[in-house]
Structure 1
Amino acid sequence: MHRFMTGLARAMAMLGGVVLTALILITCVSVLGRTLNTMLHSGLAEAVLGGFAKTLLDTGVGPILGDFELVEAGIAFSIFAFLPLCQITGGHASVDIFTSKLPVRVNRFITLVGEVLFALVLALIAWRLYAGMQSKMLYGETTFLLQFPIWWAYAASFAAALLAAVVSAYVAVVRLGEFLTNREIIAAQEGAEH
């Protein structure tokens, strides 16, 4: 079961990475296009390039239409896509100034409470994303520039948040087992510690 959940979390993180990389490229190309457009409209460009500046502008050199709409929709998905891997590997940052001196059993209990709360919060977020998606579908809302249905972004974020909630619930169950048996089942806190 752990291997399956880890594989699922890794696949979702890779998909989130692909989306995030695409968003970075879109942003870079859009900024470059906006900069070139501004430069080509300057008096200096018209003096140096003459009619070629107008020819370039006529080809559509400029920012990508709706770049911020794409980034807004994609970044939410990317964040939720990375959460399952972070959760299953214990990659969340932890500050254990006070708890490091506590007994192992007490730390296991604190970890269990944190995992349960995290699973509940992710389930709540997934539920509200689903409700938001239904609302956007019902009213047929679209983005301003690209006119793509807003519910698409909600659906992608909902799917990633639902997977994050499932993985988080699995981790919470594992932590409960660790607390009850007083033994480590999966390694905790493999991520950043501060």
Structure 2
Amino acid sequence: MYNFFQRSANIMAYLGGLMLTALVVLTCASILGRTVNGMMHSDAMMSVAPDLAKWALSLGVGPINGDFELVEAGVAFAIFAFLPICQLAGAHAVVDIFTTGLSEKNNRRLQAVIDILFALIILLIAVQLFAGMQSKINSGQVSLLLQFPVWWGYAFSMVGAAVTTVITIYIATIRVVEAVKNQDILPQPQGADH
């Protein structure tokens, strides 16, 4: 079962990475286009090389239309895409200054409680995200520049939220079993590397 969740989390992380890479390329291309457009509109370029400036502007050199809308939707997906692998690896930031003195058994109990709370919070976020998506579908709201339905961004994020919810419930269940049996079943949370 753990291997299935590991594969699912890895797939989501790869998709999140691809999304972030695409967004970086999009942002860089848009900034480059905006910069070149500004240079071609400058008085200096219009006086030194007016034909080049007019030619470049006639090509449509400029910022990518709707880049902010795409980045907004894409980053939301990427965040949800990375949550499953973070939860499965126990790689969330951990402040253990108060728990280092606790016994192993009490630390297991505390970890079970933390993972149960995290699963409940992620479930609540997923439910609210789904409700928001339904609201956007029903209202027919579209983005300002590209006119794509806003619910598309919610739907992409919902995939990551659903996978994260299933994985957090799985982790919480196993952590409860670990606390009851007082033995490790899953790899122990390592926290974020410093």
TM-score, structure 2 as length reference: 0.97
Task: Kindly provide the CA deviation profile for residues 18-59 of structure 1, in whole angstroms up to 9, marking residues without a partner as x.
Answer: 011101110010011111111111111112222110110111
Q: Percent identity?
A: 51
Give distance in 2, aligned partners of 1:147 and 1:77.
Answer: 19
Query: Which amino acid counterpart does residue 69 of structure 1 have in structure 2?
Result: E
Q: Aligned to 1:99, what secondary structure does the other structure show?
A: coil
Measured against aligned partners, the alpha-carbon deviations of 1:44-85 in whole angstroms (never above 9, x if no partner) come to 111222211011011111100000000000100100000000
Moved over 3 A (4+): none
Paired residue for 1:140?
140
Aligned to 2:78: 78
Task: Please say which of residues 184-193 and 154-163 is displaced more in the overlay.
Answer: 184-193
Aligned length: 194
1:168 match: 168
Matching of residues 49-128 of structure 1 within 5 Å: 49-128=49-128
What is the correspondence of 1:11-30 to structure 2 with a 5 Å cutoff? 11-30=11-30
SS at match of 1:21: helix
Q: CA deviation at 1:176?
A: 0.6
- CA distance in 1 between counterparts of 2:192 and 2:155 reads 31
Letter aligned with residue 52 of structure 1: L
Q: What's 1:42 paired with?
A: 42
Kept in 2, the 8 Å contact 1:122–1:164? The answer is yes
Per the alignment, residue 5 of structure 2 pairs with 5
1:94/1:193 contact within 8 Å kept: no
| Structure 2 gaps, min length 5 | none
What root-mean-square deviation, in Å, do the aligned CA atoms of Structure 1 and Structure 2 show? 1.0
- Indicate the SS of the match to 2:65: coil
Q: Which runs of 5+ in 1 are unaligned?
A: none
